[in-house]
């Protein structure tokens, strides 16, 4: 990368840390740190949640699946058909349940409904599963970022982790949400920039459309039920599987619900989910269109395709395109978009892991701690995670 690209990347990372310090100035208690004093707007929460859901892995892997991977294509969209059904249940029943109890950790509801052992057991499962999943997400992203930035993977892991920890440590959930909003804008910019240059190198939209395989344009397969070998993307499996996946993640995962509980009111919490219900599908569709465009460019350029294949995975299609086909300055901007997408997944995970640890294990045991002490311990636990 050029020196200008490095200036763009460094400036963005410094800005994020400064934003966290600024937003954390008025914190007085753990509810300020974990729920932003219940003062966050519905649109910022909605965009933040979407940024976390559609992070760096989606930015890289979805286009690769659609445009280049064997047996891939627009069938990636099949999961999205289940989203509206999941949102109806969440808005109608689940979110009001948590919002009206005034909990910080959603697992506190299990103590009210059952007992303290159930609460701690499920919270522990969340801590372990989300901790491991977040580690894998960072690793998967860092591999690809290392290719783009031409750095050793240990450095890219450190950059992603250190910056996320810094602004999360100082700013709490407010820093998470507002940085995610910025990161969502950057993701959109990254898609459009890569797509525009892809169309340019492809020789126009008509060239792409005329050469696309019909199999890659199939979005729904009603005749497959998921039982046949190599036909895992039937409509019904995706509909039912997607329903339970989305309802569990948007409605019963601390890293997601914590933001919905940070809204000013129950109405705003519901609106934040509607943002995802209406905007998530268009964004996933943009990922898919980007995949078709860049996939065509790769298939028409043997050197491009060979370089992707040398890494052993189609997921390197977007990183190779960024490094080889984008001009100086824009390369840095797209790297920022990938870093942003990666950190949008990490920051919410860190804050929610800290919230569950504090609310489900520390606060019940040490009830004599002051608000100031609890706030300090919350930040320390974020750092430890």
Please tell me the chain's helix, strand, coil percentages from 3-state DSSP, rounded to the nearest 5: 80, 0, 20
Query: What does the alpha-carbon distance between residue 268 and residue 281 come to, in Å, rounded to a whole number?
Result: 21
The confidence score (pLDDT) of residue 226 equals 63
- Higher model confidence: residue 121 or residue 236? 121
| 169-199: pLDDT as tens digits | 888 888 888 888 888 888 888 888 889 999 9
User: Is the Cα dihedral 280, 232, 257, 270 positive or negative?
Assistant: positive
Provide DSSP, 122-154. HHHHHHHHHHHHHHHHHHHHHHHHHHHHT--HH
Q: What is the pLDDT of residue 221?
A: 67
Instruction: Answer yes or no: are the C-beta atoms of 359 and 332 closer than 8 Å.
Output: no
pLDDT at 119: 94
Cα–Cα dist 357/65, whole Å:
37
**pTM for this prediction:** 0.84
Nearest 5°: phi and psi at 263?
-70, 160
What contacts 184, CB < 8 A, 6 or more positions away? 47, 48, 50, 51, 344
- Residue 172 backbone class (left: φ over 0; alpha: ψ -120 to 50; beta: rest): left
359 pLDDT above the threshold of 80: yes
pLDDT-based confidence at residue 353 (cuts at 50, 70, 90): very high
Task: Give the torsion sign (CA, 187, 190, 194, 196).
Answer: positive
pLDDT at 266 over 80: yes
pLDDT at 66: 82
Give SS3 for 283.
helix
Q: Given a cut of 80, is residue 41 above it in pLDDT? A: yes
Interval 219-256: pLDDT, tens: 776 666 666 666 667 777 888 888 998 898 888 888 88
Residues whose CB falls within 8 Å of the CB of residue 109, separated by 6 or more in sequence, listed in order: 97, 98, 101, 103
Q: Over the stretch 90-110, which tens digit does the pLDDT of each residue have? A: 999 888 988 888 888 899 999
pLDDT value of residue 173: 87
Q: What percent of the chain has pLDDT over 90?
A: 13
262: phi then psi, degrees, rounded to nearest 5: -85, -5
Average pLDDT over residues 329-337: 82
Residue 117 pLDDT exceeds 90: yes
Q: What percent of the chain has pLDDT over 70?
A: 96
């Amino acid at each position: 990368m050029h020196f200008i690209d490095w200036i763009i990347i460094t400036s963005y990372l410094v800005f994020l840390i400064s934003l966290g310090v600024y937003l954390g100035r008025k914190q007085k208690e753990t509810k300020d740190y974990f729920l932003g004093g219940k003062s966050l707007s519905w649109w910022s929460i909605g965009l933040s949640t979407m940024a976390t859901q559609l992070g760096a892995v989606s930015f890289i892997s979805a286009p690769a699946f659609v445009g280049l991977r064997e047996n891939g294509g627009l069938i990636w969209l099949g999961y999205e058909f289940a989203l509206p059904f999941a949102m109806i249940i969440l808005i109608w029943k689940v979110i009001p349940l948590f919002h009206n109890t005034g909990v910080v950790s959603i697992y506190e509801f299990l103590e009210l409904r059952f007992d303290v052992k159930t609460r701690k057991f499920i919270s522990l499962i969340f801590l372990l599963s989300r901790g491991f999943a977040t580690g894998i997400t960072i690793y998967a992203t860092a591999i690809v970022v290392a290719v783009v930035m031409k750095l050793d993977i240990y450095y890219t892991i450190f950059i992603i982790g250190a910056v996320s920890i810094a602004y999360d440590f100082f700013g709490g959930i407010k820093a998470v949400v507002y940085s995610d909003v910025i990161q969502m804008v950057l993701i959109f910019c990254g898609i459009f920039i890569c797509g525009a240059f892809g169309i340019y190198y492809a020789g126009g939209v008509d060239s792409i459309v005329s050469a696309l395989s019909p199999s890659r344009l199939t979005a729904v397969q009603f005749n497959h039920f998921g039982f046949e070998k190599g036909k895992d993307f039937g409509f019904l499996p995706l509909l039912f599987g997607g329903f339970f996946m989305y309802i569990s993640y948007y409605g019963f995962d601390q890293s997601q619900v914590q933001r919905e509980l940070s809204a000013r009111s129950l109405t705003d919490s519901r609106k934040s989910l509607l943002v995802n219900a209406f905007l998530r599908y268009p964004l996933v569709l943009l990922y898919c269109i980007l995949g078709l465009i860049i996939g065509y460019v790769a298939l028409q350029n043997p050197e491009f395709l060979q370089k992707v294949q040398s890494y052993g995975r189609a997921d390197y299609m977007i990183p190779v395109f960024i490094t080889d086909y984008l001009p100086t300055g824009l390369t840095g901007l797209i790297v920022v978009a990938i870093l942003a997408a990666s950190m949008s997944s990490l920051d919410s995970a860190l804050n929610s892991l800290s919230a569950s640890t504090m609310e489900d294990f520390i606060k019940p045991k040490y009830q004599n701690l002051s608000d100031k002490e609890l706030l300090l311990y919350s930040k320390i636990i974020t750092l430890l995670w």
